[in-house]
Structure 1
Amino acid sequence: MTARTPSAPRAAALVGPFASGKTTLLEALLFACGAIPRKGRVRDGATVGDAGPEARARQISVEPNFATASYLGESWCFIDCPGSVEFQQEAINILGVVDAAVVVCEPDPARAVMVGPMLRQLQERGIPHLLFINKVDGPGPRLAETLEALQAVSERPLLLREVPIREGETVTGYVDLVSERAYRYRPGQASDLIRVPDAIGGEKGVARQDLLEHLADFDDELMEALLEDVQPPPADIYQDLARDLADNLIVPVFFGSAEADGGIRRLLKALRHDVPGPEATARRLGIAAEGPALAQICKTVHAPHTGKLSYARVWRGSFADNQSLGGGRLSGLYLPAPTGPAKTARVGLGELAAFGRLETLATGGLIAPEPVPPLPWPAPLGPLFALALAAEKKGDDVKLAGALTKLCEEDPSLVLEHSDFGELVLRGQGEIHLMVAIERLKSRFNLGVTARKPTVPYRETIRKATTIHGRHKKQSGGHGQFGDVTLDIAPRPRGAGFEFRETVVGGVVPRHYIPAVEQGVTDYLVRGPLGFPVVDLSVTLTQGSYHAVDSSDMAFKTAARIAMTEGMPQCEPVLLEPVLLVEIAVPNDCTAKAQRIVTGRRGQLLGYDAKADWRGWDQVNAYLPQAEMDDLIVELRSLTMGVGTFAWKFDHLQEVNGRVAEKVIEARREALAED
């Protein structure tokens, strides 16, 4: 067999559901590569990944963990991505620059549904991926049951690359289905080559034939060989596996135990032989091989000591520290290492490095010495949960807004808004997502904040019309103030908005004062008699009078406000609540649960149907009052093993009466009294 040409540095993402063991797998991979002298444990807070205080406090990954290592003379960057659905934006961004993903899952068939959304994303984006079934060293379901459940959520065929050797209920090794060699695990060391156990011979033969038949679906020569009962040489099978993986046609499946070092080196060898290099990945992404040096940012971090760091994958050429880049200058280059970012003078093709102080570039952006056209990048996830934040210390409001802007730059699934009610609203993927952001405000920026539910953007309107007279007259020596108006106030159809008109004749209100009347009306509409902005009405200026000396813009503006203040309560004001169009996506065995959630929140079901191009999933469409949305994602995830989600948009305003309206109005009056 000819010697293998070493690949340029490659990158692999570790993805999968929460608690599947990705951080432990990263630790095991680094240990097997010799990058760390011993393995740390998550429960001890001693792992390379999850080094931040927020991650260690919760024992979950809340940001990607980068680490470089070398295996058999080839360089790798492994990125442990958060498994919690609340931090999935991090995984989405990282997947944009890796050569392959290792999907880590547990051997429990009941949890297979949790892997489905990630498998689907990888399939849609054409990213080569392998499956690693972790934690097989304990008693539990047979691998065949787990594989069957996983195949139900994968559009690509899952091809078992090995079969387990068991002693009782414990997996102690494996038989490779291509080389047909058997190995026994040795914790912390390479596995021992052993004779294939007699008891496993039949299982091995069936599994190997299944592997070959699936590969033959994409290889006519292999199909002919199998039909003629000719066994192909291992080299041809390995070649088919690597090609089909790169083409996103198959998903090779491995198993082991990251905690006990079982199957780790087998996984490393598969990555080394089968995963395409950065040149092939660049072609997949539509990046030309020729051109100026090019790197793409996959993660932005505002670090306390180094400032802004942009983690980026190099697709072409090389970059040197202090290099000029499109009008700016690169200030610092770092390679991610187990002990933290390590300064380096130059990075080249395939390397994933941190670029210092690229202030104008965001995640997904391109680093180049000259302007280049942008490359496609996935849109941020839509927000699902919100909190209104306020600085604990008076005078920290500007500092708070600046810190939140930096956190939103780090994580594009965080969205910062200024509400109609003067609130600073942070939206994200869930309660934990936002609580981690709040903790970072304290740990990084020394900003304490208070958090509460945002004010629902209720509106009010009127049911009947009235005519009202408003006069402002004040004499205090010298020029006085005089403005006099008569207004017709009338309701308009829902959604028609506000309209101001004037029908004055004979100059009873001079033309140059009419804009001030309109301004007085619109100023009032910010807060109507129920305490909320007023919509869907018309106001017509019909009559008035003025004084040649004492009239002014301010006087007419005040007169208009007086008229509105006195007239609006006569118009039968009514509360309007915002209603959203919500599209809930769930596995189809959870559809009835999703419908009950809607009806239990004063929602109106519009129907449901199979989710387009998503096997085994339904989409439930409904109208839901915005007031009922604050913890919808929490309940939905709890009923769907964390995989249910939704999209929403404002649809219409709807009149609300009775006890619900009374409670809202009373709460608003109390809030205004406190202000």
Structure 2
Amino acid sequence: MNGKQTLSTRNIALVGAYLSGKTTLLESFLFVTGVISRKGKVTDKNTVGDSAVEARDRSMSVEVNFASTEYEGIRFNFLDCPGSVEFLQETYHALMGVDMAIVVCEPNSDRVNTLAPLLKFLDDWQIPHVIFVNKMDRAGSGEVAHAQAFRTLMQSLRTVSNRPLVAQQYPISTGPDLTGFIDLVTEQGYQYRPNSAPQAIALSDELASQEKVEREEMLEAIANFDDHLLEELLEEINPPQEEVIEDLQKELSADQIVPVFFGVADQDYGVRPLLKALLNEAPQPEATIAHRPQLANANQSADATVAQVLKTYYTLQGGKLSLIRLWLGKLTDGTVLNGMRIGGLYRLTGGQQQPISEAEAGDIVAIARMEGVKTGDTLTNAQTSIEPLAIAPSLEPVFAWAIAPEKRNDEVKLSSVLNKLCEEDPALRWEQHNETHEVVLWGQGEIHLQVALDRMRRKYNLPMTKSIPQVLYKETIRKATNSHGRYKHQSGGHGQFGDVYLNIQPLTRGEGFKFTETIVGGVVPKQYIPGVETGVREYLTKGALGFPVVDIVVTLTNGSYHSVDSSEQAFKQAARLAMQEGIPQCEPVLLEPINLVEISIPNEYTSSILRLVSGRRGQILGYEAKEGWQRWDNVSAYIPEVEMQSLILELRSLTMGVGFFSKTFDRLQEVPEKLTNQVISSVQET
């Protein structure tokens, strides 16, 4: 049937912390499988991944890069995901469309916390994954040092993984160098060789003895999910390789275990064994579908076509491209999805596009000119009715700049360019503040926003300036007063006359603004009263201290009018004069927004974060273990908005990049007296 899954494709995300070597691993995959004849280097800015100018300028991934290869009859589609936490949203969206992930890390036990949010996401979404310990040659020197470093790393990794880790390899060292590994499935030793497959070698008695210990530990781990294997171990029967591989494949597909491999990607060491393991153990597309009820139901339809958008690109020449995972069905150029005819079908390799005539279920390809379709959307043919597939959670923005075009004439195209940027990168948000008239761009950090501005300059010829956004201060009053305002203006014709008496009183914090009137006897005709309220409201946009006035009630108590010269406009002006006279007498005070902030960090950093919050005029409400996170705490605090701008930068600096927070506006609160003059002066200067 048309929805039948192809079994010849494996879709795999390369994920991990910044500088762990994901792009280098992708380059090695492509080299050893013959896609490229010469490996590029991130430092030389010539890798297949990191093809964008913004990535090469920084020698780091800033968006998902796609490349595919074939190895022993299987197509491998690799999605190289950014490692920086500022581009984590890209990674999350990509992970929703793969069969498994390779988590790349360094052999440094002190840095395992950097993997905690990523592993938590994989565990929560039950995405099968393996760990590849890259740069293993830096783990130590000498046989004992490499082996001990690997054991120590395994122990550390277990503290951040909710799934049991299963080492499938054991390091071999000669002198000070890492020279090979033992495959614990086949019980065969191998020696690394430059530019070729590892060579099988005989094991020394000592290594053979150690291999038995390590293999038994591996078998015991996978036997927790296989009663037959457990019986064999209890009866001291050595299970055949085929049974071990079958168990590993089954348990990995079910996200019950996390196999662990190691190597040195820039020398291609360990890359071929990893590919071989992927051939044998990586989940097939049909196994991924089995864990998605919507797809399993749609698969019963012979004409079902279902895809999901994993990434949106706007190219300089080709316009919009949507990178999709084709879950069910078949695509050809001109296929209609969600009522739109696709404008082209492509296979991507880094920044290159190769037109293709069709794509089968299980593949990841790019489709062109799907206007209105955004990242995460579910695409179907007209015959298919399906509940939308789950999408990655949206990360809340934590850092902002106020931006403006360098050239005033470019303001007309600003909103359309920002909308395209946000389509490409859903972690970006933008808004225009009515009070400050600023356009504010929100994202995940300084680098994230600078990449966005670089794209605006390069792609759209829209250079921008940036500044720290203004804090939305308010002002209110402490005491009540009565005020009088009279507006009298004579001109050649009719004059203007309005006369009002106002009672001004403070309200409880958060009540906003109220206008009432107690006019009797028609001293102010009813048709002029709306003008009085308008005049009051206009004044409140900028009070005595220079900020919008809130939490105040104004009552029109008396007044007078002229039968000829009075008008609604005149009474509006009279009300403004009354407010100008009265508000300064009410002891105006400055208010600042206060946020309720929830900060999540590994508990080893909790004391540092408490000091950080206190140093930012924060009021600590308490801290407790973070639910569902091993050895993490959640700190609750009230923090002034003005102290939030660089909070994420310092938080990440203190926590090796993994700390994060969420915030919600809580209330307005009086600014400390010693800071009020500073705030007023700084605003007046701008």
**Amino acid in the other structure paired with 2:226:** D
Pairing of 1:264-413 with structure 2 (within 5 A): 264-286=271-293, 287-288=295-296, 289-291=299-301, 292-338=304-350, 340-370=352-382, 372-413=386-427
Identity %: 50
Q: Is the 8 A contact 2:613 2:619 kept in 1?
A: yes
Q: Is the 8 A contact 2:51 2:350 kept in 1?
A: no
Identify the residue that residue 158 of structure 1 maps to in structure 2: 165
Runs of 4+ in 1 over 3 A off after TM superposition: none
Which structure is richer in relative contact order (CA contacts within 8 A, separation 6 or more)?
2
Q: Which moved more, 1:320-329 or 1:234-243?
A: 320-329
Shift of 1:112: 1.2
Pairing of 1:239-254 with structure 2 (within 5 A): 239-254=246-261
Identify the residue that residue 75 of structure 2 maps to in structure 1: 75
Q: Deviations over 1:154-175 (max 9, x none)?
A: 1111100011111123221111
Q: Deviations over 1:527-583 (max 9, x none)?
A: 111111111000111112222332222222222112112211111100011111111
Question: C-alpha separation between the residues in 1 aligned to 2:583 and 2:386?
Answer: 58
The answer to whether residue 505 in structure 2 is matched with residue 463 in structure 1 is no
Question: C-alpha separation between the residues in 2 aligned to 1:271 and 1:131?
Answer: 12
3-state SS of 2:409 partner: coil
| Unaligned runs of at least 5 residues, structure 2 | 141-145
Q: Deviations over 1:571-628 (max 9, x none)?
A: 1100011111111111111000000000111111111000011110001111111111
Question: C-alpha separation between the residues in 2 aligned to 1:650 and 1:55?
Answer: 35
Question: C-alpha separation between the residues in 1 aligned to 2:492 and 2:164?
Answer: 90
3-state SS of 1:143 partner: helix
Question: C-alpha separation between the residues in 2 aligned to 1:483 and 1:369?
Answer: 67
Pairing of 1:519-534 with structure 2 (within 5 A): 519-534=534-549
The answer to whether residue 182 in structure 2 is matched with residue 172 in structure 1 is no
Q: Is the 8 A contact 2:52 2:351 kept in 1?
A: no
Identify the residue that residue 95 of structure 1 maps to in structure 2: 95
Shift of 1:139: 5.2
Pairing of 1:101-180 with structure 2 (within 5 A): 101-138=101-138, 140=140, 142-180=149-187
Question: C-alpha separation between the residues in 1 aligned to 2:527 and 2:186?
Answer: 92
Identify the residue that residue 24 of structure 2 maps to in structure 1: 24
Shift of 1:507: 1.6
Q: Is the 8 A contact 1:322 1:331 kept in 2?
A: yes
Q: Is the 8 A contact 1:139 1:170 kept in 2?
A: no
Question: C-alpha separation between the residues in 1 aligned to 2:491 and 2:367?
Answer: 67
**Amino acid in the other structure paired with 1:389:** I
Q: Is the 8 A contact 1:139 1:169 kept in 2?
A: no
RMSD: 1.4
3-state SS of 1:659 partner: helix
Pairing of 1:379-528 with structure 2 (within 5 A): 379-419=393-433, 420-528=435-543
Question: C-alpha separation between the residues in 1 aligned to 2:424 and 2:185?
Answer: 44
Shift of 1:479: 2.6
Residues 294 and 11 of structure 1: CA distance in aligned 2, closer, same or farther (over 3 Å): same
Residues 326 and 154 of structure 1: CA distance in aligned 2, closer, same or farther (over 3 Å): closer
Pairing of 1:622-633 with structure 2 (within 5 A): 622-633=637-648
3-state SS of 1:413 partner: coil
Q: Is the 8 A contact 1:183 1:192 kept in 2?
A: yes
**Amino acid in the other structure paired with 1:648:** K
Shift of 1:323: 2.5
Residues 339 and 527 of structure 1: CA distance in aligned 2, closer, same or farther (over 3 Å): closer
Q: Is the 8 A contact 1:23 1:42 kept in 2?
A: yes
The answer to whether residue 597 in structure 2 is matched with residue 582 in structure 1 is yes
Question: C-alpha separation between the residues in 2 aligned to 1:552 and 1:9?
Answer: 78
Identify the residue that residue 7 of structure 1 maps to in structure 2: 7
Question: C-alpha separation between the residues in 1 aligned to 2:640 and 2:351?
Answer: 49
Question: C-alpha separation between the residues in 2 aligned to 1:404 and 1:296?
Answer: 24
**Amino acid in the other structure paired with 2:107:** P
Question: C-alpha separation between the residues in 2 aligned to 1:342 and 1:402?
Answer: 29
Question: C-alpha separation between the residues in 2 aligned to 1:84 and 1:114?
Answer: 10
Q: Is the 8 A contact 2:418 2:430 kept in 1?
A: yes
Q: Which moved more, 1:271-280 or 1:453-462?
A: 271-280
Shift of 1:372: 4.0
3-state SS of 1:543 partner: strand
Residues 470 and 583 of structure 1: CA distance in aligned 2, closer, same or farther (over 3 Å): same
3-state SS of 2:212 partner: helix
**Amino acid in the other structure paired with 1:281:** T
Q: Which moved more, 1:196-205 or 1:494-503?
A: 196-205
3-state SS of 1:259 partner: helix
The answer to whether residue 619 in structure 2 is matched with residue 604 in structure 1 is yes
Question: C-alpha separation between the residues in 2 aligned to 1:290 and 1:337?
Answer: 33
Shift of 1:526: 1.2
**Amino acid in the other structure paired with 2:393:** A
Question: C-alpha separation between the residues in 2 aligned to 1:221 and 1:244?
Answer: 14
**Amino acid in the other structure paired with 2:404:** A
3-state SS of 1:395 partner: helix
Q: Which moved more, 1:495-504 or 1:371-380?
A: 371-380
Identify the residue that residue 185 of structure 1 maps to in structure 2: 192
Question: C-alpha separation between the residues in 1 aligned to 2:289 and 2:125?
Answer: 13
The answer to whether residue 557 in structure 2 is matched with residue 542 in structure 1 is yes
Q: Deviations over 1:411-463 (max 9, x none)?
A: 11111011231100011111111111111111111111111110011110000
Shift of 1:22: 0.4
Question: C-alpha separation between the residues in 2 aligned to 1:423 and 1:602?
Answer: 26
| Unaligned runs of at least 5 residues, structure 1 | none
Question: C-alpha separation between the residues in 1 aligned to 2:7 and 2:381?
Answer: 26
Question: C-alpha separation between the residues in 2 aligned to 1:298 and 1:325?
Answer: 15
The answer to whether residue 242 in structure 2 is matched with residue 227 in structure 1 is no
Q: Deviations over 1:472-525 (max 9, x none)?
A: 222212232222211111000111111111111112222222222212211111
**Amino acid in the other structure paired with 2:475:** E
Q: Is the 8 A contact 1:606 1:623 kept in 2?
A: yes
**Amino acid in the other structure paired with 2:326:** V
Residues 226 and 326 of structure 1: CA distance in aligned 2, closer, same or farther (over 3 Å): closer
3-state SS of 2:545 partner: coil
TM-score by length of 2: 0.95
Question: C-alpha separation between the residues in 1 aligned to 2:349 and 2:57?
Answer: 23
3-state SS of 2:43 partner: helix
3-state SS of 2:366 partner: strand
Q: Which moved more, 1:97-106 or 1:637-646?
A: 637-646
Q: Which moved more, 1:551-560 or 1:642-651?
A: 551-560
2:635 to 620, 628, 648: 620
TM-score by length of 1: 0.97
Question: C-alpha separation between the residues in 1 aligned to 2:129 and 2:339?
Answer: 38
Q: Is the 8 A contact 2:594 2:666 kept in 1?
A: yes
Q: Which moved more, 1:502-511 or 1:576-585?
A: 502-511
Question: C-alpha separation between the residues in 1 aligned to 2:176 and 2:130?
Answer: 25
Question: C-alpha separation between the residues in 2 aligned to 1:496 and 1:465?
Answer: 16
Q: Deviations over 1:97-148 (max 9, x none)?
A: 0000000000111111111221111011100000000001235262111111
Q: Which moved more, 1:96-105 or 1:484-493?
A: 484-493
Q: Which moved more, 1:376-385 or 1:92-101?
A: 376-385
Q: Is the 8 A contact 1:159 1:250 kept in 2?
A: yes
Q: Is the 8 A contact 1:279 1:315 kept in 2?
A: no
Q: Is the 8 A contact 1:23 1:49 kept in 2?
A: yes
2:671 to 648, 656, 662: 656
3-state SS of 1:399 partner: helix
